Amino acid sequence: MLKLISPVPVFCSAAIFAAALPAFANQYTIFVGNLAFIYIILTLGLNLLLGYTGLLAFVNAALFGIGAYATAIARTKFGIPYGFALPLGGLAALAVGVVVALPALRLTGLYLALASISFAQFAVWVFAHWDPVTGGPTGIRMAAVAYGFSGSWETVHYYVSLAICIASVVVTSNILRSRVGRSFVAIRESEVAAEGLAIDLTRTKTTAYGLSALYAGIAGGLFAPILTLVVPESYDLFQVIVQFAMVVVGGLGSIAGAIFGAVGLIGVQEALRATKELQEIAFGGMILLTVLFLPSGLAGLLRKYLPEWREPLRRRGDDR
């Protein structure tokens, strides 16, 4: 019986539940579910950088935006079908992510945090001011995706997001079970020791930045059509906070934590949708309270109450 409460069966049940949901849910639930899948992808990507590799970089909101803009531009300006525009969004973010990573490789700790928070603000400024490409403050409006199935396109999009979300979880888990994931954690724990084992810091960190950017970009590509509007505010510093809150509340360095954090906090965000100030208080407050009282997040509770729960390279909770 206890064996059933282990990652693979639980994850499969959740996926089956998510797949069945549209049969008995309204449009709004489908919209929220879709958002949750997108944020799971984002949180997994940020977790690779922050939770596993230990790099404190505030770049993922901007890369999320770059994925969304690239997808929207590919569709509206070049008439590229969504099936190709979506991966283009991912690749655009990957390219920018790697280019940004190169100077960032020299920076650690606070310097990385300062430089990357400036980059995040700079990216929003570019979105708002590069009118010929990004449409400036009014952004880019795009049509619904014509999937060619009967029924609402939102439901089809829900399944596309779900499929990519499941793929991201599987790929993340595979990576963490490999040399690549172990190298990330080795660097987080001690750069000097990792180098002493012939682990190439430059290459490994670039891989982490690139992977994280790819996740953010694909999430952006999925996010662009569901609002049918891509505007700079969606990718500002508040977006940074939303993603950080999900990673921190869920638990740094845990896949299950990323899923809990994303799903739970999307719920909070939707409940407070009308009032930005309450969202800010809730997300800021949750980060602070988690850091103060539950440093390993919800994943820490999982470790405490379900010690049988196994996950690759799960970060330990007693790190302070």
From candidates 91, 95, 227, 237, binder to other proteins by CB under 8 A: 237
Q: For the chain, where are the E strands, in sequence order?
A: 140-141, 229-230
Q: Which of residues 33-62 bind other proteins (CB under 8 A)?
A: 50, 54, 56
Is residue 318 a contact partner of residue 311, using CB atoms and an 8 Å limit?
no
For 44, left (φ over 0), alpha (ψ -120 to 50), or beta? Answer: alpha
Span interacting with other proteins, options 25-33, 91-99, 118-126, 221-229, rule CB under 8 A: 118-126
- Min dist CB 221 to other proteins, Å, is 18
Neighbours of 293 (CB within 10 A): 7
| Number of shown-chain residues binding other proteins (CB under 8 A) | 76
Helix and strand numbers (H, E) in the chain are 14, 2
d(CA 84, CA 89): 9
Picking from 120, 157, 129, 162, the residue whose alpha carbon sits closest to that of residue 142 is 157
Give Rg (Cα) of the chain.
Answer: 19
Closer CB to other proteins, 10 or 117, in the complex: 117
Figure out which of the listed residues 32, 80, 98, 107 binds other proteins, where binding follows CB under 8 A: 107
What string marks each residue from 247 to 286 as x (binds other proteins by CB under 8 A) or -? -x----x----------------------xxxxxxxxxxx
In the complex, what is the shortest distance from the CB of residue 155 to other proteins, in angstroms, rounded to a whole number?
A: 28
**Closest CB 30 distance from other proteins, rounded Å:** 29
Judged by CB under 8 A, the stretch of 28-36, 38-46, 60-68, 102-110 that binds other proteins is: 102-110
Angle CA 7–22–170, to nearest 5 = 30
By CB under 8 A, what part of segment 127-156 binds other proteins?
A: 129
Q: Counting contacts by CB under 8 A, is residue 117 touching other proteins? A: yes
Q: Which is nearer to other proteins, 185 or 224 (CB)?
A: 185
Residue 27, interface with other proteins (CB under 8 A)?
Answer: no
- Residue keyed to tokens 């080795």: 186
* C-alpha to C-alpha distance for 229 and 216, rounded to whole angstroms: 18
Which of the residues 187 through 206 are near other proteins (CB under 8 A)? 188-190, 192-201
